[in-house]
Chains A and B, each alone.
Chain A
């Protein structure tokens, strides 16, 4: 027994030494004519697809420019990604390419000097106008859009057409729809509040609608420390309506379970983006998904589609292999292969190189956009979005009142101004 144990420990020590040595060894090896790119993306679920795509890129770069590219791909969980990225950038350890949230991150990142001007890159010419606008800051294109979104809430087209309903445009119309659904014993709204970002979507849409139609200076005022959520208290009208007419036990239902419920017709509407389409269709491939703008008041013009580019790819100005980084960036929107990638990821087309047919729900949303019923996603501090998420959960659980929410959001906004000013 003693011998066995001491032998084991001896072995352990050897393994320990070997792992340490090989670990360091790997870092110091650097053959000639090699370029290493560190790529940071918050898409762990798409790891395989991107790895394959990057391998194609490596082959191309080797063949055309005789550069041996190694790509170190890091894909943290979306929950952590922002935090990790900010830490890297702040400690001068920036990845060569990284994903960021176009609307929330570009202004602060740009001011901090973390973004490279990409205006002269070939891919820019192919971008669609409305998409390009969102990744443009200070007159310069600073990121390559990956996910472009036009979203409202989702509805079950079959239930709606069976009952002869059309997507309501005002609060009163929505109440009528809710009553008709209830009369037929159909639950109007799917509630999936286990993940706090989902209830947050209700506020994103209702605040977007109310602010754009009634209080266009709200964000400015809040940033100057002069506003309050009290002014936009009417955002709660639709939220209350949804919460009172939703499915049971929402805190046990996350995005995946919500998709399954919605796909199985457990509820007629779901405040969720079309980014859930893939998981909905996986459960029910024949499902007809509709996208409509969320009514927020009795002004039909205030029901609007949210236009956003969420995840975009940027290049660090401190990159040592900028040329290769630019090549990779342009390859993402390559004429020949980009279409297949974007279609596989179920992303919307962002540039003229994307030749695949867009999904019907995208067309439906874009029809509203072409009528002018759309707004550009509001730029709120991340801390306010996080706080909204938590507070709406508490609100449903009757742990917080409207006034608590207003107070908490005002404080979160004030704190984040304070935090970013020093």
Chain B
């Protein structure tokens, strides 16, 4: 058996397990990434991150805010689009193809494209039409840049979830809907009473996919604002990078921050697995 498993295990251990365990170890030290020597500092890094680092906490709360918006909006839009696209007959393939397109490219590319829209196209439209309200500093004003990030993230992410929801919608037995229609239910009632309960598993998946991916958000923010102006749009991933590779190269401290993120994501995933288990038992 081991001959088959060994290669996978080797790569996995070196590039995944070792860094994870190493990260836990370093998070308990004051290692600065360069010095060969470092000493154990216990939980001091964790305490500092949670009590004495307003920048980190701000990035955590900013990320949380982003996650909440994304979970609600991304799933709502994806489900709505899925339902609307599925209701088309001939054009549905076209719409699906188009809505999936942004998902095929890196959010770095998408982010730069939107940068062009926000900083060049919208001001141009504002100057040449009556839509003057479009002329804002979408990227530079912290009041708007959060929404700019959100728009781009939704643009890039909705298509992916839509595919999941379409697959789920196609799994809803037709005779159930017909039965509801015969009972006199209109389309909207049928959706709420029949379709939605049937695709609830997909909704669970959709919510947790969004939770997981939006906690790790990096590319969109990097491309659009770089976390700026200042640190107004800094997310957790950027904060960890900044701590480790800029400033004072506090690897140990940055590792502690990374472990806190790990715990958050871990908890979410465990809740997800638990919910799925419960549901499987019910079904």
Interface residues of A (CB under 8 A from B): 80, 83, 86-87, 89-90, 193-194, 196, 248-252, 381, 383, 386-387, 390-397, 399-400, 412, 415-416, 419, 422
Contact = CB atoms under 8 A, between A and B. Distances in A.
15 contacts: A83-B249, A87-B33, A193-B229, A196-B228, A196-B230, A250-B140, A251-B139, A251-B141, A251-B229, A391-B230, A393-B228, A397-B142, A412-B247, A416-B247, A419-B248
Given A90-B36, A250-B140, A251-B140, A383 B230 contact: no
B246 A399 contact: no
Nearest to B34: A90
Contacts of A252: 119, 137, 139-140
B245 A399 contact: no
Contacts of A381: 248
A219 to B, nearest CB: 18
A249 B232 CA distance: 16
Nearest to A416: B248
Contacts of B228: 194, 196, 251, 390, 393
Contacts of A249: 119, 137, 140
Contacts of B230: 196, 390-395, 397, 399-400
Given A251-B139, A252-B139, A383-B247, A87 B34 contact: yes
Contacts of A415: 247-248, 250
Contacts of A393: 228-230
A198 to B, nearest CB: 12
A188 to B, nearest CB: 20
Nearest to B250: A419
Interface in B135-160: 137, 139-142
B97 interface: no
A394 B32 contact: no
Interface residues on B, range: 20 to 34
Contacts of A90: 33-36
Contacts of A400: 230
A415 B53 CA distance: 12
A412 B247 CA distance: 8
Contacts of A83: 245-246, 249
Interface of A, secondary structure class, is helix
B46 to A, nearest CB: 17
Interface in B25-41: 30, 32-36, 38-39
Contacts of A89: 34
A234 B96 CA distance: 60
Interface of B: 30, 32-36, 38-39, 119, 137, 139-142, 228-232, 245-250
B247 A394 contact: no
A399 B142 contact: yes
Contacts of B246: 83, 383, 386
A419 B231 contact: no
B232 A399 contact: yes
A304 B165 CA distance: 65
Given A90-B34, A252-B140, A422-B30, A390 B249 contact: no
Which residue, B30, B142, B246, B250, has most C-beta atoms of chain A within 10 A? B246
Contact of B247 (A248, A387, A397): A387
A303 B42 CA distance: 49
Which residue, A381, A392, A397, A399, has most C-beta atoms of chain B within 10 A? A397
Which residue, A196, A249, A391, has most C-beta atoms of chain B within 10 A? A249
A-B interface, 8 closest residue pairs, ranked by CB to CB distance from nearest: A394-B230, A251-B140, A90-B34, A393-B230, A397-B229, A419-B248, A393-B229, A383-B247
B35 A396 contact: no
Contacts of A394: 229-232
Which residue, A249, A251, A391, A393, has most C-beta atoms of chain B within 10 A? A251
A397 B232 contact: yes
B141 A397 contact: yes
